[in-house]
Structure 1
């Protein structure tokens, strides 16, 4: 069977690759053509586009790259028609993927369309649930509250659990011991605070300089930056000037050894929580974007940890609140004491809500069952 899969960022690349591994077990003749990163490339026979060519974040970045984005749309539409897949699997990346789903349906192409890791319709543009349902054949959810949300609009979707648990389970065996980790990367015996400024260039530019300001307030700790493999070292060094360790491809080892973390909102908040690391969530989309979002976003929290738990379990610092004084204060609160203990207790509840390991296997089985129905 021929699969065409589109992911738009690093986390989607990882989860799609794990799903592909499971699909291969069920379909020994699986043939993949993908838009993704290095992990998907390892599992696929063909790479159509790498996420380095397709990932644009923020209103101004999108506007600046409109011609490139339009070219990518046209290329993808033509590429799908020429490849003639049995199924198109869309991973997150709603701005791009929903247009492609619409194109496939409006052109009457004989291609099944699956959506895995859904657009956040529950956060804004809630009526997109009708669009998503209309342009897809099967929907697979990774967040425990999404089935009820879609049901309120009259649609049934499949909750398969969060694939981040699978990723963690795979990585655990390869994690370095505390001694190996510190020795390999030349770290001291001081307790460690992790900085996760994001996986996209604009996130790093907006948050890393602010995160670095807290370092002087914690002389008894060492700070380590979890670098994104899609970003060049030079961007980080522009702000660190060689004074802070930047480790690529080692986020889980960093979290496994961290006492606390400053984390960009997104999937990283879940990863940090599942490693039982108390965190402060940092979000700075820019003044204009922030005020536009305030008008259209209909959720109480921005961090997935808080959204899933439906409470302010971890502190969120948004836009003007993301300043040196607040970050220092919140970090101090979670390094010791009652607030730290409460966060760790909330993390246990979170893990149970996420559905346990096996999401990649469950979604692959449901997809294969749908594709072979009637055979």
Structure 2
């Protein structure tokens, strides 16, 4: 490894881009001359990563959705190989997104470049047999959820548990001091096009039902980087206004909400760490849902419920994602009810389970040690 190493980072979706931003920040503190390049989204680009490819070019989810995008995905992989071969980075860091990144890992290993897999794939949910691929192709596997250590140990793997990086960006004194607006309801429809078109009409009709029961409610929606505002307004089917807010202050906004309706994903862990009760929803294509029913092995969809091993956030999936069901759930949290108090008490135990901060710094040390060991 030179004094000015090149670190390739690959983020395949918005949440990975945010994790990548924190990791780059921690790496730069420890290795001042490093060059960062790879597949980057807005957050990583803001942190100085050279965007040889854009994360926004890979924004699909599900079995059938990926199949429809296969020609474009194969083109991205060819570009990655060409640019990785030309750049010859000292290490490749892939972040989550296993369906795409397993192929990137194979490219890096074929070029003799060490690989760190950051945010280990959720093989405990489905496709458990892919653990053998990780054992053979990845130099270091970095986990951010506590129960993943035992899962990989059952597959003969020693992994690095660093805790969850969101704690450092969310659980700050300034954010946690944000005053609550007792009539504010947050709307988090996801960042992918099909999430917005599938969920936002449902959320907007639930908003109508809530407003009829609680006059004077305010609905707010933080706009993630790259989200199409026109797509949002076209799919907000209520006459009630929804305020679109730049995502730069999304955590303060989410903390200020009395309750939230959210797409399943990283956002639900964010709302949990902000201690804001959340109704979780998701819809899939019919084929994706049917295959998921056969293959997915976990009892819950949302991360807070999996970590706490309890249905703390109610989940509304596929046909269950109905406006009336979501409205009924949120309505129980607008007054100071015993149910609201129970949820807040359960959410209070999350930070200790997730490492109490410092995850990105620990991950950065692993990346740098991997370069030194293999150089």
CA distance in 2, matches of 1:214, 1:374: 54
Quickly say closer, same or farther: Cα 1:239–1:297, change in 2 above 3 A: same
Q: 1:266·1:304 contact (CA, 8 Å) conserved in 2?
A: yes
1:45-84 per-residue CA deviation (whole Å, 9 max, x = no partner) reads 5211111222222334323322111100111111111110
Matched, 1:289 2:288: yes
Q: Which runs of 4+ in 1 moved over 6 A?
A: none
Q: Which residue of 2 aligns with 1:309?
A: 308
Q: Which residue of 1 aligns with 2:38?
A: 34
1:24-47 per-residue CA deviation (whole Å, 9 max, x = no partner) reads 121122111120111211233521
Task: Give the counterpart of 1:98 among 82, 92, 102.
Answer: 102
Q: Which residue of 1 aligns with 2:353?
A: 353
Task: Quote the offset at 1:173 in angstroms.
Answer: 3.9
Instruction: Identify unmatched segments of 5+ residues in structure 1.
Output: 180-188
1:347-368 per-residue CA deviation (whole Å, 9 max, x = no partner) reads 0122211111111111111222
Alignment of 1:12-23 (within 5 A): 12-23=16-27
Quickly say closer, same or farther: Cα 1:94–1:209, change in 2 above 3 A: same
Task: Give the counterpart of 2:198 among 195, 198, 206.
Answer: 206
Q: Which residue of 1 aligns with 2:168?
A: 166
Q: Which residue of 2 aligns with 1:57?
A: 61
CA distance in 2, matches of 1:30, 1:37: 19
Quickly say closer, same or farther: Cα 1:283–1:364, change in 2 above 3 A: same
CA distance in 2, matches of 1:228, 1:45: 19
Task: Quote the offset at 1:4 in angstroms.
Answer: 0.7
**Helix, strand or coil: the match of 2:134?**
helix
CA distance in 2, matches of 1:209, 1:66: 28
**Helix, strand or coil: the match of 2:121?**
coil
Task: Quote the offset at 1:132 in angstroms.
Answer: 1.4
Aligned residues, how many? Answer: 363
Q: 1:86·1:110 contact (CA, 8 Å) conserved in 2?
A: no
CA distance in 2, matches of 1:68, 1:354: 36
**Helix, strand or coil: the match of 1:153?**
coil
CA distance in 2, matches of 1:102, 1:296: 25
CA distance in 2, matches of 1:141, 1:178: 33
Task: Quote the offset at 1:215 in angstroms.
Answer: 1.7
Larger mean Cα displacement after TM superposition, 34-43 or 355-364: 34-43
Larger mean Cα displacement after TM superposition, 231-240 or 242-251: 242-251
Matched, 1:76 2:80: yes
Matched, 1:362 2:362: yes
- With structure 1 as the length reference, what TM-score do the two structures score? 0.92
CA distance in 2, matches of 1:256, 1:314: 16
Q: 1:33·1:48 contact (CA, 8 Å) conserved in 2?
A: yes
Alignment of 1:1-375 (within 5 A): 1-44=5-48, 46-105=50-109, 107=110, 109-169=111-171, 173=174, 178=179, 191-219=183-211, 220=215, 221-240=217-236, 243-249=241-247, 250-336=249-335, 337-373=337-373
Larger mean Cα displacement after TM superposition, 50-59 or 249-258: 50-59
Q: 2:40·2:49 contact (CA, 8 Å) conserved in 1?
A: no
CA distance in 1, matches of 2:338, 2:329: 13
**Helix, strand or coil: the match of 1:301?**
coil
Q: 1:15·1:167 contact (CA, 8 Å) conserved in 2?
A: no
Q: 2:209·2:324 contact (CA, 8 Å) conserved in 1?
A: no
1:159-178 per-residue CA deviation (whole Å, 9 max, x = no partner) reads 001001112146x6479955
**Helix, strand or coil: the match of 1:3?**
strand
**Helix, strand or coil: the match of 1:127?**
helix
CA distance in 2, matches of 1:373, 1:80: 20
Q: 1:175·1:252 contact (CA, 8 Å) conserved in 2?
A: no
**Helix, strand or coil: the match of 1:211?**
helix
Instruction: Identify unmatched segments of 5+ residues in structure 2.
Output: none
Q: 1:192·1:222 contact (CA, 8 Å) conserved in 2?
A: yes
Task: Quote the offset at 1:229 in angstroms.
Answer: 1.8
